[in-house]
Amino acid sequence: MSDIRFDIASLHAAYRSGTGIAEVIDTILARAEAAGDPGIFIHLATKAAMLAEAAALGRFDPVAKPLWGIPFAVKDNIDVAGMPTTAACAEYAYTPDRDATVVARLKAAGALVVGKTNLDQFATGLVGVRTPWPIPRNAIDAKLVPGGSSSGSAVATARGIVSFALGTDTAGSGRIPAGLNNIVGLKPTVGALSTSGVVPACRTLDCVSVFALTVDDAYAVFSVAAAHDSADPYSRDIAVQPLTARPPALNVGIPAKADLKFFGDASMRAGFEVALAALEAHGARLVEIPFGDFYATADLLYEGAWVAERYAAIRDFFEANEAALHPVTRKIIGGARTLSAADAFRGFYALQAYKARLAPVIASVDLFCVPTAPTHYTVDAVLADPIATNSRLGTYTNFVNLLDMCGIAVPTGTRDDGLPMSVTLLAAAGRDGLVAAVARDLHAASGLHLGATGWRQTIARPAAASAEDGIELVVVGAHLSGMPLNGQLKDLGALFCRAARTAPSYRLYELADQIPPKPGLVRVGSGGAAIDVEVWRLCADAFGRFVAAIPPPLGIGTIELDDGTSAKGFLAETAGLSAATDISAYGGWRSFVASANAPRRQLENAPSV
């Protein structure tokens, strides 16, 4: 069998060096056979079909087609023209004559569909065992469940049969299988990827997700697939930011210690603590958040409104073919028959109340970090108690789409018992790039191999944000990442570019009578110091709105940086320095704030820089 790596960068490098796509196709088929797992694929394309699809790509051109020759699998509730869609129910099967919008976009970018993957029937479950086909085997430990509902997609990716795979995520189906198979699971903002051509579970919550071996690959696929689709009434025009370096300081919400749930799994608790330590090592400030309302929101998902929505999605088929459904799926969806419209509205009202209550909590931090799953379950344990085990797996996933958050599951290490450890980073809608940037750093820090392939990570430097189509803004104080006013930049769609220092010709002052506390940067020429700053980028309209709101004595001027470049940024009027304190000796506002309890006499006697 070929040893070609299937992460996107490696595979494209192989194509450049002369590897033919026929050899890649042979490798796909050989790896699928070597897996010895009949539960991964419900439909696997023939070699002839793959070769015909590859021939239509034309010559290798990763600029025109950024996913040229990249093989991917598709969860079998997403349409691929000419391949049957079953939703893991043979009696439901049909063969579409057109691709789902997301598949069409990926094909147009050069990606190669290899087959349709197994799932929890009608995407109802987080365990991966609710299928009339053989149960896919967890790629890391065959005793464990593979996770669902996107079980086959996760296993195919983890085994290196494909470079990436599409799943769907309503309650965690794009995150739980990733966490259990040592891969990345990107759950985008709801509506960012079209669900046109997707068999619905809950149309108001469904989203297409991406499984990949690396964060860079998952985000590259997301960037290609994301677009508004007029054919999908739930589609949204979500701006896809480039995956650049993360801000150096972030406030990360974590469940309060008293609210953490691991159901007796001490190894998962310990693994989570290690992941939090890695976040802190990358400059994160951890903020404990009471999680009771998040859990209460999660509980709504399998009550009234959203159970009824699952029933509505397949009602006609259900009533005509009830016996065809998996027993657990039939029990869950059939429960909607006893519900009334009043039950549904009760759920809507409860959700709205939780949204209102949690909105300021979500806005109070940059992102959240939670365990992807609270524990691991064996196949035998889930088959013995299918409802309770499934519910527990959704502890940290079920509330996410209800609260309109984006997220990404990322491997962070190996537990003390050898099983995979994963956390999920969550943020408000539209901040997909932020959670991905932080996830990339965590994955790199873990030193893990990719999935179950044995391939080592290839660590790439985060891309610097381009100044094209935007205006760079130098921030020095309360607008720095992790500081109280940083949210004003993010609300305007600002993108972090880089940490920097000014040329050594400035003085930094703590301004008097400012709430929140603010510094003032003043150019002095001789006798100046180099001051730590950050450079962010805004579109011209946002820059104008931001500048218009700046209060005196602050204003915008040109700031010279120590690398010889310059950009617009915050400067203080000298008239506003009355009663201000020179804090230049600290080298920057962040260092000064960290030392805020230092006696003032130390500051006054500090040597000049």
Active centre residues (catalytic): 75, 149, 173
Burial (CB < 10 A; 0-12, 13-18, 19+), residue 460, is exposed
Comparing CA positions, the residue from 107, 77, 100, 111 lying closest to residue 217 is 111
455 beta partners = 450
Tokens of 446: 């873990």
Residue 322 half-sphere exposure, CB side, CA atoms within 13 Å? 9
Contact 531, 571 (CB under 8 A): no
Contact 182, 451 (CB under 8 A): yes
211 beta partners = 165, 185
Q: Provide the 10 A C-beta neighbour count for residue 600.
A: 8
Tokens of 194: 């079209």
Which 3 state secondary structure label does DSSP give 319?
A: helix
Strand order in the sheet with 519-523: 519-523, 506-510, 581-582
Tokens of 604: 């006054």
List Cβ neighbours of 438 (8 Å cut-off, separation of 6 or more): 246, 250, 279, 282, 284, 367, 425
Give the span between the Cα atoms of 146 and 185, in whole angstroms: 13
The sign of the dihedral angle between the CA atoms of 25, 113, 175, 382 is negative
Give the span between the Cα atoms of 186 and 208, in whole angstroms: 9
Give the span between the Cα atoms of 577 and 308, in whole angstroms: 63
Residue 207 half-sphere exposure, CB side, CA atoms within 13 Å? 30
Distance of CA 585 to the CA centre of its chain: 39
Give the span between the Cα atoms of 14 and 324, in whole angstroms: 45
**Any idea what DSSP says for residue 306?**
H
User: What is the pairing mode between strands 554-560 and 495-501?
Assistant: unpaired
Max CA pair span of the chain: 85
Tokens 């020095």, located at residue: 476
